[in-house]
């Protein structure tokens, strides 16, 4: 039953100032009236929607708490149904006791994401906006949260809908041709449709291209710190992180495995990997470390080539083997501040000189496009749907004027449907269930 009453603790299960128990569906108001007694009023007063009342909350086990209650009348609520929120003190056991009382009064426990799923089913938010909400909740860096907020604000939904409405228009024009094949569409009209299709394809492809940045935002930008033994790689990692993560030693070959450290720069998560120094005469274990260092470098988004003194042949080879952008970092400038002419920046991992500038340089060199405004695709599901829409538009573009209109229509409808998966209009139950099952209970 769609509107049966569900309840859950919507705040995190930990001790805190306030916990919120949310109840949604038919009968939510009745439950509130049973459990909540506004201060100085009779319990049966009719709740004025969107007004906060203070009073006593009857919880399970004969417990009474003093808190707040607010009622949102359908359809003006998060879920689009009658919703009541009880705000009690933020104790783990206390909030459970309040929830249990709500369940006793007729609600059933909400499943993961069920409130948001109802909001989607009742047309309160689009599917991609719901995903944006999850990204905001689960985001581990400012950029990820910002991207989630953009999705939540409906930016992608609006773009998908705008392309869909153009497609509807084009389908109607082509449809006239299918219905009345004797009245051929004029050539000028065909070339106009072709032009419009090319523009739509470009709009979708522009979104698809941003996924490269979106992936980096989601997974973090990986930076490999490489160079010869004793160049100061481990010291540099520690200086960047601001605490000692890697072992620093004057004996060459100390770092034998890859040491990882995380730092947020420009709102984006960066994962730094301190790799074993690459040198010829290495022992067995160190050799393994060197192999791993090469693997790390091969999948890095940015390499820091650390050296002291002068940028030599080995560093040149390292630079040549870099599959990504590289920054040449001359370390130990406290020992010698003589530029060697090859450096992008000079620092001292020991004294901290130049580390702030290095952080800025790393951010400006490696930051994905759009990181500042969150305008990129961050969800793999959206990337896949948009890629399929671009393909369908492309095949419609190639078919127009060559194949009969009904063939072109099939591709256009395919593009329309795939875009509908983003907004939710054409998403299957399986897609919808998968998305909402990733939410937490209470959301
Ligand atoms: P790695 O082998 O490249 O990881 O180098 P380490 O970070 O272990 O450093 C090797 C040696 O160089 C250690 O004795 C560090 O204290 C020293 N060292 C690292 N950075 C600096 C620096 O900026 N200035 C000076 N004077 N010594 C440094």
| pLDDT tens digits, one per residue of 182-231 | 455 565 578 889 999 999 999 999 999 999 889 888 889 999 999 998 99
Between helix 127-138 and helix 142-152 the angle, nearest 10°, is: 160
**Pocket-forming residues, ligand 1, beta carbon under 6 Å:** 229-235, 248-250, 254-255, 277, 331-332, 334-335, 348-350
Domain 220-371 CATH class label: alpha beta
Looking at the predicted structure, is the pLDDT value of residue 55 above 60?
Answer: yes
Contact between 151 and 378 (Cβ < 8 Å): yes
Q: Whose CA is nearest to atom 8 of ligand 1?
A: 248
Among candidates 243, 244, 247, which has minimal Cα distance to 258?
A: 247
Residues of the chain with CATH 3.30.1360.120: 6-110
Residues of the chain with CATH 1.20.120.430: 129-210+378-436
Ligand 1 mutation target, pool 226, 228, 230, most atoms within 8 A of CB: 230
Ligand 1 midpoint to CA 176 (Å): 75
Cα–Cα distance, 417 to 425 (Å, whole number)? 8
Looking at the predicted structure, is the pLDDT value of residue 290 above 90?
Answer: no
Supply the mean pLDDT for the chain. 88
Q: Are strands 16-24 and 6-9 parallel, antiparallel or unpaired?
A: antiparallel
pTM of structure? 0.78
Token pair belonging to 123:
């047309």
* Confidence category of residue 402, pLDDT binned at 50, 70, 90: confident
**Across residues 39-48, what is the average pLDDT?**
72
pLDDT at 195: 93
Ligand 1 midpoint to CA 268 (Å): 28
Looking at the predicted structure, is the pLDDT value of residue 52 above 90?
Answer: yes
To 5 degrees, how large is the angle CA 167–CA 171–CA 172?
120
Residues of the chain with CATH 3.40.50.300: 220-371
CA distances from 320 to 120, 247, 317, 341, 361 (A): 51, 28, 5, 18, 20
Domain 129-210+378-436 sits in CATH at 1.20.120.430
Ligand 1 mutation target, pool 224, 226, 230, 235, most atoms within 8 A of CB: 235
SS3 272: strand
Cα–Cα distance, 329 to 268 (Å, whole number)? 21
Cα–Cα distance, 396 to 196 (Å, whole number)? 11
Residue 379 main-chain phi, psi, to 5 deg:
-95, 130
Looking at the predicted structure, is the pLDDT value of residue 289 above 90?
Answer: no
Q: 131: which DSSP letter?
A: H
Ligand 1 midpoint to CA 330 (Å): 12
Length of the chain: 443
pLDDT at 187: 58
* Confidence category of residue 350, pLDDT binned at 50, 70, 90: very high
pLDDT at 280: 53
More confident of the two residues 422 and 174: 422
Kindly give the number of the ligand 1 atom that is closest to the alpha carbon of 331: 23
Ligand 1 midpoint to CA 285 (Å): 21
Q: Are strands 52-59 and 63-72 parallel, antiparallel or unpaired?
A: antiparallel
Architecture of domain 6-110 in this structure: 2-Layer Sandwich (3.30)
Cα–Cα distance, 34 to 209 (Å, whole number)? 54
> Which of 18-27, 153-162, 258-267 has the highest average model confidence (pLDDT)?
18-27
pLDDT at 237: 94
Kindly give the number of the ligand 1 atom that is closest to the alpha carbon of 306: 3
Cα–Cα distance, 249 to 233 (Å, whole number)? 11
Looking at the predicted structure, is the pLDDT value of residue 180 above 50?
Answer: no
């Amino acid at each position: 039953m769609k509107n049966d009453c569900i309840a859950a603790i919507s705040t995190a299960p930990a001790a805190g100032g306030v916990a919120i128990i949310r109840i949604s569906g038919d009968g939510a108001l009745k439950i509130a009236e049973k459990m909540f007694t506004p201060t100085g009023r009779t319990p049966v007063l009719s709740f004025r929607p969107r007004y906060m009342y203070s009073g006593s909350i009857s919880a399970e086990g004969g417990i009474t708490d003093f808190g707040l209650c607010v009622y949102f009348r359908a359809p003006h609520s998060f879920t689009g149904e009658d919703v009541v929120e009880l705000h009690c003190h933020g104790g783990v056991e206390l909030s459970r006791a309040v929830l249990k009382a709500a369940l006793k009064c007729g609600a059933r426990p909400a499943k993961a994401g069920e409130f948001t799923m109802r909001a989607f089913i009742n047309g309160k938010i689009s599917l991609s906006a719901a995903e944006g909400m999850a990204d905001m909740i689960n985001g581990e860096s400012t950029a990820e949260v910002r991207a989630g907020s953009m999705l939540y604000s409906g930016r992608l939904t609006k773009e998908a809908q705008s392309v869909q409405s153009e497609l509807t228009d084009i389908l109607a024009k082509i449809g006239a041709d299918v219905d009345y094949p004797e009245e051929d569409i004029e050539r000028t009209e065909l070339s106009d449709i072709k032009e419009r299709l090319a523009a739509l394809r470009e709009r979708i492809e522009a979104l698809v291209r941003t996924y490269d940045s979106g992936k980096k935002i989601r997974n973090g930008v990986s930076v490999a710190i490489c160079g010869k033994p004793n160049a100061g790689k481990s010291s540099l990692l520690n200086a960047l992180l601001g605490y000692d993560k890697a072992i620093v030693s004057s004996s060459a070959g100390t770092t034998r495995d890859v040491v990882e450290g995380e730092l947020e720069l420009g709102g984006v998560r960066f994962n730094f990997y301190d790799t074993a120094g690459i040198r010829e005469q290495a022992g067995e274990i160190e050799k393994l470390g060197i192999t791993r260092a090469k693997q790390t470098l091969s999948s890095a988004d940015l390499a820091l080539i650390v050296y002291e003194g002068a940028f030599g042949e080995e560093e040149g080879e390292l630079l040549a083997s870099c599959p990504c952008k590289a920054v040449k970092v001359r370390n130990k400038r406290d020992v010698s501040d003589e530029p060697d002419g090859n450096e992008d920046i000079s620092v001292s991992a020991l004294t901290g000189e130049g580390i702030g500038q290095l952080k800025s340089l790393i951010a400006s060199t490696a930051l994905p496009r759009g990181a500042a405004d969150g305008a990129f695709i961050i969800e793999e599901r959206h990337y896949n749907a948009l890629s399929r829409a671009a393909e369908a538009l492309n095949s419609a573009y190639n078919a127009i004027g060559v194949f009969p209109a009904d063939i072109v229509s099939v591709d256009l409808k395919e593009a329309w449907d795939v875009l509908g998966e983003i907004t939710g209009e054409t998403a299957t139950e399986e897609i919808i269930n998968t998305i909402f099952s990733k939410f937490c209970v209470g959301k």
